[in-house]
Amino acid sequence: MLDPMLIEAQPKGYNYEEAKVPKYNLPDPLVCLDGSKVKDADDWVKKRRPEVVRMFEDEVYGRSPGKPKAMRFEIVEKEADALGGKAMRKQIVIHLGKGEKALAVNLLLYLPKKAKGPVPGFLTVNFLGNHTTNKDPAIRIPTSWVRNGNGTKNNKATAAGRGERASRWAIDSIVSRGYAFGTIYYGDIDPDFHDGYENGIHPLFPPKNPKKRKPTDWASIAGWAWGLSRGLDYLETEADVDAKRIAVMGHSRLGKTSLWAGASDERFALVISNNSGCGGAALSRRQFGETVKRINTSFPHWFCDNYKKYNDKEDECPVDQHMLIALSAPRPVYVASAEGDRWADPNGEFLSALGAEPVYQLFGHTFGASKQPPVNKPVQGRIGYHVRTGKHDVTSFDWEQYLNFADKHLR
């Protein structure tokens, strides 16, 4: 039975009953805009996939710029004997742009010491600063915007937060299993409040008319995803990392980010969404838990302005989130839910993964599930999925599944 404490934790006034899910029809990922049907994998790659990417750019996340010309990497710290001798630690500053608006994005990287060659790895994005992912006293503390209760005040991160989110990252286990672990603080890329896109990454790419943004201009989720791609740019220069075997992973709003990063940058070899919910892995048309209107109202800076057209009109959107997951095909993708996280619609996340399977089948891959599996019973085909006990969080159980999935697909 679901813990009543978890039930009470969900925002009131929203639907949490399957019987109240409206009837809906999902857009067919295999039907092109001209009405033709995708026949095979080549048809998907050359014709349909570019259509779906453009629809998500124009209607949901916004159009992002390409790789910047003004970018350089600076290794600011290196330690050959980190994590009790298990790892090498590197801290890299990714310098973006020039002048007053230049941005410094900090990448923390741990590499297994016993590796005999370039290793696969996980590139993640975190909420409160790289120093919160591990108690390692050498991790640099961010000087950029940091979150507080309402997400608007520019607090200063301090050493008191060191390691406070370590339970979410399983760094020792990741390194012990032979993987590199990299993480970027999302506030280094873009502040998570509606600042009119005047801070973070957006001022480096101002609109042609500075007084008027286009409804397809990129917003914060696209900005964070773009920042992850810059992290991958660095990993391509790192001799101890196999940049062709990198999994991108995020939780909650950063799970939405990892899905879009994997969709928009096919260099990521594996994509992981942890409890990403509305605007991430969950089907919007189900109107279960968080809705498009609610997310656009509470977080108007996350999605492009066009997405607001679909407040209370989810059926009119030309895409739904199963098509976002399908954009990772044929690369492996993992979607994880939590039983107590009804706000993120666990069943809707599963159904979204299931709705992506027809695209994977074009490449000869299957999901391996036709209905939501029992709690704590993962399914790991080319699409991976589990719903675990507990709440909106990242746990050791989640990471055990991600590592098993990576062993299967990245080794």
Whether 236 and 121 have beta carbons less than 8 Å apart is answered as no
What DSSP line would sit under 52-104, residue for residue? HHHHHIIIII-BPP-S-SSEEEEEEEEEEEEGGGTEEEEEEEEEESSGGG-EE
SS (H, E, C) 290-321: CCHHHHHHHCCCCCCHHHHHHCCCHHHCCCCH
Q: Is 264 a catalytic site residue?
A: no
The residue annotated as part of the active site, out of 301, 322, 392, 409, is: 392
Q: Are 274 and 394 in contact (CB under 8 A)?
A: yes
Supply the DSSP symbol for 18. Answer: G
Element (H, E) at 254: helix 253-264
Structure tokens at 367: 């999901």
CA 284 to chain centre: 17
Q: How far apart are the first and last CA of the chain?
A: 38
Q: Which of 64, 252, 273, 337 is catalytic?
A: 252
Which residue in the block uniquely carries the two structure tokens 């704590």? 376
Distance of CA 249 to the CA centre of its chain: 6
Active-site annotation holds for 322: no
Token output for 241: 């990392």
Show which residues are catalytic. 252, 392
